[in-house]
Amino acid sequence: MRVLSGIQPTGRPHWGNYFGAIQQYIQLQGNEQSFYFIANLHALTTMRDREKLETATIDMALDLLALGLDPDKATLFVQSDIPEISELCWILMTGTPMGLLERCVSYKDKKDKGLKADTGLFTYPVLQAADILAYDSDIVPVGQDQVQHIEVTRDIAQSFNHQFGEVFVLPKPKVLDASAKVPGTDGEKMSKSYGNIIELFEPPKQARKKIMRIVTDSRPMEDPKEPETDHLYQLYSLFASPADLEEMAALYRKGGFGYGHVKKALADASEAYYAEAHERRAELVADLGKVKQILGDGAQVARKKAREVLTRAQEASGISSWH
């Protein structure tokens, strides 16, 4: 089984990225082959600052390694190191109906939020299809928001296969039910570009401040509350042990507590949860040369596979090499 997933260096990873996706990367890295990439070509659709993008790219590599991504088990690389992806993207774009992309929620969402919509953002799902198909990926671990894009990838691959023969493997998304859509500090989907995130590597004091500001409802403290429908409880459930969670659920049902109590418990639990990764990151920062080496080695492995698949697609569609 081949696993592939990517994360954009549009900022530092947050709880949603971790529980929706990164946790799965680490669980799945022992598979036959797993490819994880930092999606800097995708990030370019919203980040137009060279220095910021470069820093965010290396930061993301450090973050993933500190969280437990193991370069001996998984291939970690930067998207732009694989030019084959952009070539494949063009081939796929030629058969992609406009309507398919117009229906994509993430494009519509960002557009509705007033983010500038250029053709890069619009065609983003096709580049993503190229990313996935180029490695013959079977499984794509993602959060709920990406499921529609994997469906688009399958549509694009199926239509290509139908026209030109069995070139592409059809991938399947893998989503964890409990953390498919982690809420942000405003209760909406936590998203780097929505300014409602709590980062994994934020200094604990700063993270605590953000946690204390998480939006809650204004029902009186005495009222019993259903824990499952409360986003603060949902966040706590990501970090708490089963026994602590049980205790918190009972408190919700009984009523008479303040949200400040839950927020404090959440801050303590999340801080303890990432303490080890914080230490590992500090060690990695001291050896940036090694991190760049890991990305370089990863790119070589990834490129070899992508070249093989691109050649297959070129030959099938009649644009193979003429010299």
Task: Give the catalytic positions in this structure.
Answer: 110, 189, 192
Residue 263 touching ligand ATP (CB under 6 A): no
Q: Are 193 and 226 in contact (CB under 8 A)?
A: no
Site membership for ligand ATP, residue 3 (CB under 6 A): no
235 is a contact residue toward ligand ATP (CB under 6 A): no
DSSP H helices, the chain, are 15-17, 23-28, 40-43, 50-67, 83-93, 98-102, 105-112, 119-133, 147-164, 204-212, 231-239, 242-254, 259-285, 288-317
Residue in this structure with the two tokens 């949860």, named with its chain if needed: 273
Query: Which of 2, 181, 210, 264 is close enough to bind ligand ATP by CB under 6 A?
Result: 181
Q: What is the 8-class DSSP label of residue 35?
A: E
What backbone phi and psi angles, to 5 degrees, belong to 171? -85, 160
Residues 154-173 binding ligand ATP (CB under 6 A) are none
User: Is 57 one of the binding residues for ligand ATP (CB under 6 A)?
Assistant: no
Contact status: 34 vs ligand ATP (CB under 6 A): no
Given 193, 216, 314, 317, the residue binding ligand ATP (CB under 6 A): 193
Q: Is 29 annotated as a binding residue?
A: no
Q: Cα(172)–Cα(113) distance, rounded to whole angstroms?
A: 29
191 binds ligand ATP (CB under 6 A): yes
Cα of first residue to Cα of last residue in the chain, in angstroms, is: 35
Residue nearer to ligand ATP on the CB measure, 105 or 285: 105
**According to the binding rule CB under 6 A, does residue 126 interact with ligand ATP?**
no
Q: Dihedrals φ, ψ of 34, to 5°?
A: -130, 135
If binding is defined by CB under 6 A, does position 75 make contact with ligand ATP? no
Q: CB-wise, 189 or 225, nearer to ligand ATP?
A: 189
Residue 153 counted as an annotated binding residue: no
Verify binding: residue 270, ligand ATP, rule CB under 6 A.
Answer: no
DSSP 226-248: -GGG-HHHHHHHHHS-HHHHHHH
Is 8 known as a binding-site position?
A: yes
Spatial CA neighbour of 25 closest among 71, 56, 82: 71
Determine contact, residues 63/291, Cβ cutoff 8 Å. no
Q: Is 123 annotated as contributing to ligand binding?
A: no
Mark the segment that binds ligand ATP (CB under 6 A) among 161-169, 188-196, 239-247, 311-319: 188-196
Binding status of residue 143 toward ligand ATP by CB under 6 A: yes
Residues that bind ligand ATP (CB under 6 A): 7-8, 10, 16-17, 20-21, 142-143, 145-146, 179-182, 189-193
Q: Which residues are annotated as a binding site for ATP?
A: 8-10, 16-17, 143-145, 182, 189-193
Q: Which residues are annotated as a binding site for L-tryptophan?
A: 131
